[in-house]
Amino acid sequence: MRTTTKRFKALLLLLLCVTLAFPRIDSSAKSAQYYQAMKAYKTWLGRNTVCVIKRGRSYFDTGTYKTRTYSTSKASDVKFALAYIDNDGIPELIISTKQDSGYSLYGVLTFKNGKIYRVFDSDGWDSFGGFYYRTGYFLDNAYTEGAPINRNYMLLSKTSVREKLNKFDWSYRLGKSHESDDSYRADGKTVSKRTFVSKLKTATKGKNKTFPKVYQNTAANRNRILK
């Protein structure tokens, strides 16, 4: 009986030694597609000029109150961030640049099947409002002329984006006394605040909104972050 026990202990010790000899494979290890994406993002941002929104798109210049046609932005005027919006293990690239008035243009890019896709652009009234980690959802804050703000909850699916939820937010600037003026939509239909909150919680799996860390588009930052 003692001999059997000793052999069992020896076998356990051997298994422990073998386990320690080989590094554990991390289930979250980055894929080849991830590294391809980082290389593609680095090349895309490394040009002299960067298209923050699609070239030729009309946007509202809040400094001059005129509609303009977008061309490109100097690479040094661009900022970037990585955000895990969908759940494919490859982060999306958020790019932005400010107008003289302080409002931003921004775009969302994703990497699928060896290619970069532009999935969302916003004009000078809009701002990237954060994302819900690996749920597919991000928030676009579309400022309207006047007090309200449109909070558009967008769902990224593969290479396309669509609005799923919306809050027309009067109380953002005017205070709690105007909360009764706020309105809500889900899939294009008017809903109550309670239904909206429930649907948002379900859609985003109860996760808190995340703001990605933003970096100036310099060679040093590209080499440090996009790897």
Torsion (CA) 186, 192, 197, 203 in degrees, nearest 10:
-20
112, two tokens? 């699928």
Q: Which residue has the higher pLDDT, 111 or 68?
A: 111
Cα–Cα distance for residue pair 123/61, rounded to 1 Å: 8
User: CA-CA distances (angstroms) from residue 218 to 40, 47, 129, 157, 201?
Assistant: 16, 11, 24, 30, 37
pLDDT for residue 171: 81
What global pTM score does this model have?
0.83
Domain boundaries of the chain, sorted by first residue: 29-225
Q: What is the pLDDT of residues 66-89, one digit of tens each?
A: 888 999 999 999 999 999 999 999
| Contact between 153 and 131 (Cβ < 8 Å) | no
Q: What is the pLDDT of residues 20-70, one digit of tens each?
A: 333 333 335 789 999 999 999 999 999 999 999 999 999 887 777 788 899
Mean pLDDT score across all residues of the chain: 87
